[in-house]
Structure 1
Amino acid sequence: MFFCDGALDAPNDGITGPVAAIAGAALNRSTLLDTAQQPTDDPAEFYLADIANRYAGVFHDHTEDGKAYGFAFDDVEDFASYIQDHGPSGLEITLTPF
């Protein structure tokens, strides 16, 4: 469950992959136990059951916007902490001395 692997492996096929990602997120967040409609998007409902990915929950609790990447499909319903652009035209990175 925590690795979203094996039976929860999500290939990029557009069919079984999204279903596995949503199921993996629901199991990690413990929302599958109480909510039939998935994916859920209310973080107040996450990690409430006794069986949940507490590791991921701690990450979400200690970030300013509640976004973190605590398990393989934490991006379900946009709860992962990354920037995404589906049509980039360029990338510029500026590194400063530490």
Structure 2
Amino acid sequence: MPTQHAPTVGARAVALNIGRLLRAARLRRRRSKTALADQAGICQDTLTRIEQGDGAVSLEDYVKAVLAVGLGSSLAFILDEDAGYTGSDNVA
């Protein structure tokens, strides 16, 4: 089993902020946790943990949730256009 490391204060703050933004976007769009989790391809419990800023959730699951709720453009500053990202917020 991999060793669990406590997140740094900065990392925890980022995870909390992403979770808050994701939840606010989901509620603005009047999406249920079940619907968003299904679209993102994650379980509802994982989405709950993301919205709570749980740093133990994988980065991949955070990204899936962000893309599913339609906030993919918020990730544009870290996406490499040469990697094939087209700006679409569709989850594959």
TM-score range, shorter chain: under 0.3
Higher relative contact order (CA 8 A, sep 6+): 2
Tell me which structure has the larger Cα radius of gyration: 1
* TM-score, normalised by the number of residues in structure 2: 0.28
User: Which has more helix, going by share of residues?
Assistant: 2
* TM-score, normalised by the number of residues in structure 1: 0.27
